[in-house]
A and B are shown apart, each in its own frame.
Chain A
Amino acid sequence: MKTLQRLVVGLLCVLASAVVLAQDTITIGFTVSQTGPLNLDSIAQLHGFEMWRDDVNAAGGIKAGDKRYKVRFVSYDDQSQPGRVQQLYTRLIVEDKAQFLFSPYSSGLVATATIISEQYGKLMMSIGGAEPKTYQLGNKYLFQTYTPADHYLTGALELVKSKNPAAKIALVYSDDPFSKAVAIATREQSKQMGFSLVLDESYPPNQTDFSAIINKIISSGADTLLGGGHYPDGATLARQLHDQKANLKWLTLLVAPDSPQFASLGAAAQGISVPSQWAPQVTYKPDFGPTPAEFTKRFEAAYKIAPGYHAAGGYAGGLLFQHAIEQSGSIDPEKVATALNAMNVTTLWGATKFSTDPKSHGLQLAHAMVLTQWQMKNGQLVKEVVWPQAAATAPVVYPYQ
C-alpha cells in the first residue's frame, strides 16, 4: 500500500514539474527541408533559428512581463514537399501544441503552411517566402521578414541602367511561384526603365541541361541576363554560360549565387551577381540583438562557414518574435500580433515593418535588398556588395567577366 502511495505521489510530482516546465517554455514549431532540393537553403535557415534559440536560452529566455520563457523547438523534415508541409504543420499545432510557428523555406511551402496556420489562428513568422501573393489573401497571422519578390531584381536593373541604358535583357527564369513572381515584376520594371526585353522565357525547375536555352540567349542578341530560380538550376546555368562563352556583359541570378558553395564553380562564378536579402558586410545599426558583424563572427565560429541570407533571416525571424513577445509582455497570440503589427525596428537583418492593410496584412514594407557580386580578390572568390552604391563594399565589375 505504501509503495502505491509513493508511486502516486512521485507521479504527481513529475506531472506538476512537467506543468511548471511547460509554463516556462515557449514551443515554436516548424518544418525544415532536411532532404529534397531545398535542403541547402533550408538547413542554412535552421542554423539561424538554432543560433537564436541558443542565444535566448543562454540569456535566461524571453522576458514576457514578470516571467522568462525558454525556447523549445519542435521540427520535422518536410522533404521539400508541400504535401508533407500540410500534414506536419497540422501535427505541430494539434499534437505538439506549438504556440508559435516559423515558416518552412521557399515561397511554395510557405503558401501551403499558411493555409494551416491561418486555419488554426497561429502566428507564423515567414522566413524564406518572398512571393507576395501569399500575403495578399487577407491572412491575419502571417508576417513576412523577406523583401517581397517584386523587388528582387530592381537593384540589378538600376545598376544595369547606370552602366548601359541601352542594354538588351534576356529574362530566363525557373517555372516556380517565387521566380515567376520575380519575373512578372521585372518585366514591368524593365519596361518602365526603357529596356528592351529580347528574350522572356521560363524553364522547368528540374532543368538539367541549359545548352538550348543558352543558344536562344545568344540568338536573341542579349547582353544582359537576369533570372534563374533556386540553387541547382542557377548553378548549372552559370556553369554552362561560362562553358558556352555566352557573350554577356551582365549576369544576375536569383538565390543560387548567394550560397557560399557557389564559389565551387570557380571561374564560372566570377562576376555573377545575386540580389541578396542580407550580406555579412552590411552595416545596419540594430535597435536590439547582435550587429551583423557580431552575428557573422559567431556564426562562422559555430558552423565554419560564412552566413548567407538564409541563415541571417532565420536568426532575425526569431529575434522579431522575441521582440514582439517582450513588447507585449505576454505570450498571448493576440497581444503578440498587436506588437508585430506595430513593429518598426532595425535589427542585424535591416529594417522591418509589416503591412497592416487588411488586403496585404503581414507583407514586408521596410526591408531593403542589396546586390552582391562574386569578385576575385588575391586569387580568392569573395562576395562584395555592389548595389546600392551607398551600401557598396567594392566597386562593381562591369562587364562582369
Chain B
Amino acid sequence: MLGIIASIVDGVLVGSVYGLAAMGLTLIWGVMNVINLTHGAMIVAGMFALFYLTALGVPAYAALAPVLVGGFAIGVGVYWIAVHRMIGRPPLMSLLSTFAMNMVLIGLGTAVFGTVLFNVPVALPGLSMRGYTFTGTHLMAAALTAAMAAALYLFLYRTRPGKAIRAVASNREAAELNGIPTTQVLAFTFALGVALACLSGALIATLFPFTVLSGAAYQLKSFVVTVLGGLGNPAGALLGGVALGLLEGLVTPFMPVSWTAVIEFVVFVIVLIAFPSGLFPFLRHARVR
C-alpha cells in the first residue's frame, strides 16, 4: 500500500514540473494563437544553462534566476526571428516556422554537444519512509513550481503588464486602440512562455540526467497537459500537470510501465472530445482570454 502511495506522491511531484513546462506553451497559445514547437528545444536550453552555471560554481537553485532571465532573452530573439511575421496568419504558418526553428536548434545542439548525457548532481535531504524515499530535489521542484505558478497568476491579474497581456489576448485591436503597444506585448508574452519552458527544463535537470534530445518527450507531455488543463489556461496547465502525474502514479503500480503512455493518450483523446475546455471547469475564468 505504501508503495502505491509513494508512486502517487512521486507522480504528483513530477507532474507539477510538467505543469510548469506546459504553462509556457499554453500562455503563448492563449495570447498569440501560436503553437510553439520550439518548446522542447527551450526546455533543453534551460537544462544546459543550469548545467553550465553549476559547472561554473553557481549553486543549482541560485542558477534558476539567471536561467529565467536568459530564457526571456532567448524568447525575445526567437519571437523576432520565427514568430513575429507569422502573427495574424493561419496557425499552420507559425507551426511550421517554429518547427523549422526547433529543427535548427536541435541540429545545432546535436552537432555541438552530441547526444551525450549531462548530469547536474544536486543533493538535498529527502524524506524516507519504510524503504521509500521522496527525494529532496522532487520536493523542491514541486515547491518552486507552485511558487512560480502563484507569481505568474499575480503577474497576469494584479499588474499592468499582466493586464495588458490579457487585454491583447482578448482583443488585439481594441487593446491597440487603448494605447497598448501590442507588438511589444506579444514579444513579451512569447519571451515569458519561453522563460517558463527554460525554467522547467532547469528544474527537470535537477531531477534527471538529460541529452540534447530530451526536450521532445517533455514537449509531448506539455501538449497532453495543455489539453487536460484547457488551452490557454496557465492555472489549468499546472493542475493538468498534476493530473497527468497522478495518472502516471496511479497506473504504474497496477500495470506494466509500457502501458502508461497508452493510457495517457487514451485520456488525452477522451478529454479532447468530451471536455475540449479542459478537465477543470472551475478554472475557466483563469484563461488569459
Judge: A and B partners, yes or no: yes
| Contact flags A32-53 to B (C-beta < 8 A → 1, else 0) | 0011111110010000000000
Q: How far is the CB of A187 from chain B (nearest CB, A)?
A: 15
Q: How far is the CB of B209 from chain A (nearest CB, A)?
A: 5
Q: How far is the CB of A341 from chain B (nearest CB, A)?
A: 37
| Contact flags B53-90 to A (C-beta < 8 A → 1, else 0) | 00000000000000000000000000000000000000
Chain A residue, CB-CB nearest to B1? A219
Known: A209-B14, A211-B10, A239-B208. A216 touches B117 (CB 8 A): no
Cross-interface CB contact of A40 among B14, B114, B252, cutoff 8 Å: B114
Known: A37-B115, A40-B115, A235-B117. A213 touches B252 (CB 8 A): yes
Contact residues in B for A36 (Cβ distance below 8 Å): 115, 213
Known: A202-B258, A204-B261, A265-B119. A216 touches B114 (CB 8 A): no
For window 100-149 of B, CB contacts with A under 8 Å fall at: 107, 110, 114-119, 121, 126, 128, 131-133, 135, 137-138
Taking the complex as formed, is B253 at the interface, i.e. its CB lies under 8 A from any CB of chain A?
yes
Cross-interface CB contact of A35 among B110, B117, B208, B256, cutoff 8 Å: B110
Q: Which of A108-116, A155-163, A240-248, A391-399 contacts B (4 or more CB under 8 A)?
A: A240-248
Interface range, B side: 35 or more
Check if A261 sits within 8 Å of B208, measured CB to CB: no
Cross-interface CB contact of A216 among B119, B133, B253, cutoff 8 Å: B253
Q: How far is the CB of B139 from chain A (nearest CB, A)?
A: 12
Known: A201-B256, A203-B257. A212 touches B131 (CB 8 A): no
For window 187-225 of A, CB contacts with B under 8 Å fall at: 201-204, 206-209, 211-213, 215-216, 218-219
Q: How far is the CB of A55 from chain B (nearest CB, A)?
A: 25
Check if B214 sits within 8 Å of A208, measured CB to CB: yes
Q: How far is the CB of A383 from chain B (nearest CB, A)?
A: 17
Check if A244 sits within 8 Å of B3, measured CB to CB: no
Report the Cα distance A55→B225, complex, angstroms.
54
Check if B7 sits within 8 Å of A212, measured CB to CB: yes
Contact residues in A for B19 (Cβ distance below 8 Å): none
Chain B residue, CB-CB nearest to A174? B258
Report the Cα distance A212→B14, complex, angstroms.
11
Cross-interface CB contact of B3 among A35, A37, A204, A218, cutoff 8 Å: A218
Report the Cα distance A208→B47, complex, angstroms.
14
Report the Cα distance A202→B258, complex, angstroms.
7
Check if B133 sits within 8 Å of A231, measured CB to CB: no
For window 1-28 of B, CB contacts with A under 8 Å fall at: 3, 6-7, 10-11, 14
Contact residues in A for B214 (Cβ distance below 8 Å): 208, 232
Q: How far is the CB of B187 from chain A (nearest CB, A)?
A: 31
Taking the complex as formed, is B217 at the interface, i.e. its CB lies under 8 A from any CB of chain A?
yes
Chain B residue, CB-CB nearest to A35? B110
Check if A175 sits within 8 Å of B115, measured CB to CB: no
Q: How far is the CB of B103 from chain A (nearest CB, A)?
A: 11
Taking the complex as formed, is A10 at the interface, i.e. its CB lies under 8 A from any CB of chain B?
no
Contact residues in B for A35 (Cβ distance below 8 Å): 107, 110, 115
Contact residues in B for A211 (Cβ distance below 8 Å): 7, 10-11, 14, 138
Check if B135 sits within 8 Å of A204, measured CB to CB: no
Chain A residue, CB-CB nearest to B252? A212
Report the Cα distance A236→B210, complex, angstroms.
8
Chain A residue, CB-CB nearest to B128? A245
Check if B131 sits within 8 Å of A204, measured CB to CB: no
Report the Cα distance A235→B3, complex, angstroms.
23
Report the Cα distance A334→B17, complex, angstroms.
59
Check if B133 sits within 8 Å of A264, measured CB to CB: no
Contact residues in A for B137 (Cβ distance below 8 Å): 243
Taking the complex as formed, is A266 at the interface, i.e. its CB lies under 8 A from any CB of chain B?
yes
Known: A204-B257, A211-B11. A236 touches B121 (CB 8 A): no
Report the Cα distance A231→B218, complex, angstroms.
18
Contact residues in A for B117 (Cβ distance below 8 Å): 40, 231-232, 235-236, 261, 264
Contact residues in A for B135 (Cβ distance below 8 Å): 243-244
Contact residues in A for B10 (Cβ distance below 8 Å): 211-212, 215
Q: How far is the CB of B52 from chain A (nearest CB, A)?
A: 14
Check if B209 sits within 8 Å of A202, measured CB to CB: no
Q: How far is the CB of B171 from chain A (nearest CB, A)?
A: 40
Report the Cα distance A266→B133, complex, angstroms.
20
Contact residues in B for A244 (Cβ distance below 8 Å): 132-133, 135
* Residue in A37, A40, A218, A243 whose Cβ sees the most chain B Cβ within 10 Å: A243
Taking the complex as formed, is B46 at the interface, i.e. its CB lies under 8 A from any CB of chain A?
no
Contact residues in B for A208 (Cβ distance below 8 Å): 208, 214, 217-218
Contact residues in A for B115 (Cβ distance below 8 Å): 35-40, 231-232
For window 242-262 of A, CB contacts with B under 8 Å fall at: 243-245, 247, 261
Contact residues in B for A216 (Cβ distance below 8 Å): 3, 7, 252-253
Taking the complex as formed, is B249 at the interface, i.e. its CB lies under 8 A from any CB of chain A?
yes
Chain B residue, CB-CB nearest to A33? B115
Check if A264 sits within 8 Å of B257, measured CB to CB: no
Report the Cα distance A383→B191, complex, angstroms.
45
Contact residues in A for B252 (Cβ distance below 8 Å): 212-213, 215-216
Report the Cα distance A69→B257, complex, angstroms.
52
Contact residues in B for A268 (Cβ distance below 8 Å): 119, 121
Contact residues in B for A232 (Cβ distance below 8 Å): 115, 117, 209, 211, 213-214
Q: How far is the CB of A183 from chain B (nearest CB, A)?
A: 13
Chain A residue, CB-CB nearest to B251? A212
Contact residues in A for B209 (Cβ distance below 8 Å): 232, 235-236, 239, 265
Check if B7 sits within 8 Å of A215, measured CB to CB: yes
Check if A215 sits within 8 Å of B253, measured CB to CB: yes
Check if A247 sits within 8 Å of B131, measured CB to CB: yes
Contact residues in B for A267 (Cβ distance below 8 Å): 121
Report the Cα distance A202→B218, complex, angstroms.
21
* Residue in A36, A216, A265 whose Cβ sees the most chain B Cβ within 10 Å: A216
Check if B6 sits within 8 Å of A201, measured CB to CB: no
Check if A212 sits within 8 Å of B128, measured CB to CB: no
Would you give 6 A-B contacts (Cβ < 8 Å), ordered by A? A208-B214, A212-B257, A232-B115, A236-B208, A244-B135, A261-B117
Given A40-B114, A219-B3, 8 more pairs with CB closer than 8 A: A202-B256, A208-B218, A209-B14, A211-B11, A215-B10, A215-B132, A232-B214, A243-B135
Leading 5 A-B pairs by shortest Cβ distance: A219-B3, A212-B252, A211-B10, A39-B115, A203-B257
